[in-house]
Copies of this chain bind each other. A is one copy, B any other.
Amino acid sequence: MKSDTDERGLFIPVILGTSRMGRASENVARFVVRHLAAMPGIETHLIDVLELAPRIDGAGEEIKIPAFSELCMRADAFVLVAPEYNHGYPGLLKHVLDTNLKEYIHKAVGICGVSAGNFGGTRVIENLLPVLRELGLVTIFWDGNFSAAQKLFDAAGQLLDPAYVRRIDKFAKELVWMAKVLRYGRERVSLEV
Evaluate contact between B139 and A133: CB separation under 8 angstroms: yes
What B residues does A42 contact at CB under 8 A?
193
Nearest-CB distance from A184 to chain B (Å)? 6
The interface on chain A, measured as residues whose beta carbon lies within 8 A of the other chain's beta carbons, has a size of 72
Evaluate contact between B177 and A92: CB separation under 8 angstroms: no
Bound complex: CA of A187 vs CA of B132, how far in Å?
26
Evaluate contact between B131 and A130: CB separation under 8 angstroms: no
Q: Pick the contact of A131 from B95, B127, B136 — CB < 8 Å?
A: B127
Evaluate contact between A193 and B41: CB separation under 8 angstroms: yes
What B residues does A57 contact at CB under 8 A?
19, 50
The A interface, classified by DSSP as helix, strand, loop or mixed, is: mixed
Q: Pick the contact of A98 from B91, B174, B176 — CB < 8 Å?
A: B91
A93 beta carbon closer than 8 Å to chain B: yes
A89 beta carbon closer than 8 Å to chain B: yes
Evaluate contact between A92 and B127: CB separation under 8 angstroms: no
What B residues does A185 contact at CB under 8 A?
177-178, 180-181, 184
What B residues does A92 contact at CB under 8 A?
56, 59, 91, 95
Evaluate contact between A20 and B58: CB separation under 8 angstroms: yes
A145 beta carbon closer than 8 Å to chain B: yes
User: Besides A20-B60, A85-B98, A90-B91, 13 other CB < 8 A contacts?
Assistant: A20-B59, A20-B62, A42-B193, A54-B56, A59-B91, A86-B135, A90-B94, A92-B95, A118-B120, A126-B126, A129-B129, A174-B191, A181-B182
